[in-house]
Amino acid sequence: MLRIIISTLGLLGLVQAQATPQTIKLNSRVAPQGTSLKRRALSPTTIPFADFFLGTDLQWFGNITVGTPPQTISVVFDTGSSTLEFASTLCSTCTSQVQFDSTKSSTFRDGGRTSTITFGTGVGVDPVVGNNYQLTLRSATDTVSVGGLTAPGVSLFLITKQTPTFNIDPFSGIQGMGARAQGLFASLVSQGLPSLFSLYLTPRAVGNAEMTIGGIDTTKFTGTPIFASQAASSSTWQLVSPRLSVNGKTNTLLSQSRTIIFDSGTSNVVFSTDITEAIYAIISPDIKPNPNEPGTYGIACNRISSLPAVIDITFTSQSGAPFNLTIPSSELSVGPFANDPSTCQTLINALDGLNLVGASLLKHWYSIWDVGGQRLGFAPAKL
């Protein structure tokens, strides 16, 4: 879920944690002779993900624990945002989710600030309209653990109110995994965890989705990962792409260079309207905008499976060689529209000013999010 707006209701200014670089103080003392210097490092750990599926794969989520004693909370590990927020007992509209009860945690500290965050891409495949993906939050700190790795005093937000768009979620919150280490991940890195994580997001039929935090699970992909450098120094994961091709064809618009955001919290693909329509024109002139849901497109469900729709997005590796991340034809349909079951929605939503790939691509590529190295790595996922 890509966050684009931060607004604050409290008195203390912007709530988004400042992305200050982590400074690790080196100890200059000389070790006494005969003893070996021991670095207290954390080892990588892998946690399983569950797949939230509604006609198509929407989100993958896994467990963290919060508080003392630990309460299990499920979160989407979302590379499109940077903070940790989850439903709490303070939220009267979060009743379909597991709610964290801060009164039962001895390590909980209220931060006293209230804010709202608005997401620019949502939980499902529907377009985001206005403020329909908004959370009202209260700042706090508490102990947080993931896969047995524990961080004390992690900055987090309790959800105190949410727009109804979040009510269907089978998970309680969102753990931001942006390109700058913050919160839980920053704390684990400062304790010696290698500064990277890897995602294996699979279609429901394959299952066994997982995240390895601090490392790479080499059993989940084929070949050697190809790495490309982050396009900008920002908390948004993004790469420059010199070209898009559809079924092996490109055109003047599609072969312009553009920056593409990688967002594990978004199900679909989002491109500006002109790019979206240029891609659909190559696949089939019968793919049409759905006037009932601006930004979405569709075609008769009985035609969609016969359409070839291979989208190659070209990037440049750190060694300068071009490589393609391909979205296969199988991703073209995201299932029938709720208000028109004979029409199937297609994978790209139009939103001017945004070029973003989500799970439709990440399901087919094992992805390595190297925060320390400011680069993204990909290898074909073993499915």
Ligand X SMILES: *[C@@H]1O[C@H](CO)[C@@H](O)[C@H](O)[C@H]1NC(C)=O
Give the catalytic positions in this structure. 78, 263
Task: Report the residue number, 146 or 188, with the smaller CB distance to ligand X.
Answer: 146
Q: Does the footprint of ligand X cover residue 63 (CB under 6 A)?
A: yes
Nearer to ligand X, 191 or 314 (CB): 314
> With the CA atoms of 331, 337, 341 and 346 taken in that order, what torsion angle do they form, in degrees rounded to the nearest 10?
-30
For position 50 contacting ligand X by CB under 6 A, the verdict is yes
Cα(267)–Cα(263) distance, integer angstroms: 9
Q: With CB under 6 A as the contact rule, which of the stretches 44-52, 110-118, 157-165, 345-353 interacts with ligand X?
A: 44-52
Taking residues 296 to 315 in sequence order and writing x for each that binds ligand X by CB under 6 A, - otherwise, the string is: ----------------x-x-
The span from the CA of 287 to the CA of 209, in Å, is 31
The secondary element (H helix, E strand) that includes residue 246 is: strand 243-246
- Answer yes or no whether residue 277 interacts with ligand X by CB under 6 A: no
- Which run of H or E residues covers position 274? helix 273-283
9 in Cβ contact with 114 (< 8 Å): yes
Q: How many residues bind ligand X (CB under 6 A)?
A: 14
Q: Which amino acid is at 242?
A: P
- The verdict on 251 binding ligand X (CB under 6 A) reads no
Is there a contact between 210 and 147 (Cβ–Cβ < 8 Å)? no
Sign of CA dihedral 341, 343, 345, 350: negative
Shortest gap between Cβ of 61 and ligand X (angstroms)? 7
Residues 148-187 that bind ligand X (CB under 6 A): none
Q: Could you say which of 245, 276, 296, 349 contacts ligand X (CB under 6 A)? A: 245
Q: Can you read off the two tokens belonging to residue 18?
A: 């400042």
The binding track of 73-112 with respect to ligand X, each residue x by CB under 6 A or -, is: -x--------------------------------------
Our finding on whether 48 is near ligand X (CB under 6 A) is yes
Q: Which residue has the tokens 């495949």?
A: 125
In this complex, which beta carbon is closest to ligand X, that of residue 138 or of residue 364?
364
Tokens 């000013």 correspond to: 353
**How far is it, in rounded angstroms, from Cα 349 to Cα 296?**
5
Give yes or no for residue 46 binding ligand X (CB under 6 A): no
Q: Which is nearer to ligand X, 77 or 133 (CB)?
A: 77
Give the distance, in angstroms, between the CA of residue 297 and the centroid of all CA atoms in the same chain: 23
Give residues with Cβ within 8 angstroms of 26, minimum separation 6.
none
Task: Determine the Cα–Cα distance for residues 252 and 247; give it in Å rounded to an integer.
Answer: 15
- 322 lies in the binding site for ligand X (CB under 6 A): yes
Minimum CB separation of residue 170 from ligand X in Å reads 10
Among 8, 240, 323, 380, binds ligand X (CB under 6 A): 323
For ligand X, give the closer residue by CB, 213 or 351: 213
Q: Is 127 in the site for ligand X (CB under 6 A)?
A: no
Q: Is the Cβ of residue 76 or residue 344 nearer to ligand X in the bound state?
A: 76
| Cβ 307 to ligand X shortest distance, Å | 16
Nearby residues of 210 by Cβ (< 8 Å), 6 or more positions away: 46, 47, 48, 49, 62, 200, 217, 220
Binding site residues, ligand X, CB under 6 A: 48-50, 62-63, 72, 74, 245, 248, 312, 314, 322-324
